[in-house]
């Protein structure tokens, strides 16, 4: 098999595995009764996130090397997030913890510049959802 095709298949599998892991962690850590399902139509159609939790559109990215996610990842999640919805980029590099990039406005609505971003650790993101975005969890309880 062509080396670049093999690497692409392996990267796609890694991405799918990470989406499943994130969906499972959301269910467990938010004590949800219903699972957060992967949006499989994303592979046939544009404008769909990997996961959706209430108004949150979530893109999941797992990559071998790096520290900062490329701007294209954030642009991708913005591209699938509509009006009155919230983007979240959940990313992980090998041997590093899961991080979550959101708009600073989602931490504090007094922040008026919607271009300002903040990266949270996983536990902080779960705390934010549990305490300030309960409305988005109610259909999963």
Give 106-130 pLDDT, tens digit per residue.
999 899 899 999 999 999 999 999 9
Domains of the chain, each with CATH number or no CATH: 3-140 (3.40.1350)
Q: CB neighbours (10 Å) of residue 102?
A: 20
Which of these, 124, 126, 119, 13, lies nearest to 64 by C-alpha position?
13
Quick check: 9 pLDDT over 60?
Answer: no
Question: Which DSSP symbol is given to 45?
Answer: S
- When computed from its CA atoms, the radius of gyration of the chain, rounded to whole angstroms, is 15
Residue 57 and residue 75 in contact, taking contact as beta carbons nearer than 8 Å: no
Please tell me the distance from the alpha carbon of residue 73 to that of residue 2, in angstroms, as a whole number.
26
Residue 96 and residue 52 in contact, taking contact as beta carbons nearer than 8 Å: no
Q: CB neighbours (10 Å) of residue 8?
A: 11
Give the contacts of 80 (CB within 8 A, at least 6 positions apart): 46, 47, 48, 49, 57, 59, 87
37-86 pLDDT, tens digit each: 887 655 545 678 999 999 999 999 999 899 899 999 999 999 999 999 99
Length of the chain: 141
pLDDT at position 4 is 46
Q: Whole-model pTM?
A: 0.89
């Amino acid at each position: 098999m062509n080396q670049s095709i093999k690497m692409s298949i392996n990267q796609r599998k890694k991405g799918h595995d990470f989406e499943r892991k994130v969906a499972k962690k959301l269910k467990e850590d938010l004590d949800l009764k219903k699972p957060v399902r992967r949006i499989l139509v994303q592979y046939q159609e544009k404008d769909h996130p990997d996961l959706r939790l209430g108004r949150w559109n979530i893109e999941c990215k797992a990559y071998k090397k790096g520290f900062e996610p490329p701007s294209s990842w954030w642009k991708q999640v913005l591209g699938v997030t509509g009006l009155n919805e919230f983007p979240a980029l959940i990313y992980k590099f090998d041997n590093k913890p899961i991080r979550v990039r959101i708009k600073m406005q989602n931490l504090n609505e007094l922040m008026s510049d919607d271009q300002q971003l903040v990266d949270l650790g996983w536990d902080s993101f779960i705390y934010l959802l549990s305490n300030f975005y309960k409305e988005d969890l109610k259909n999963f309880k």
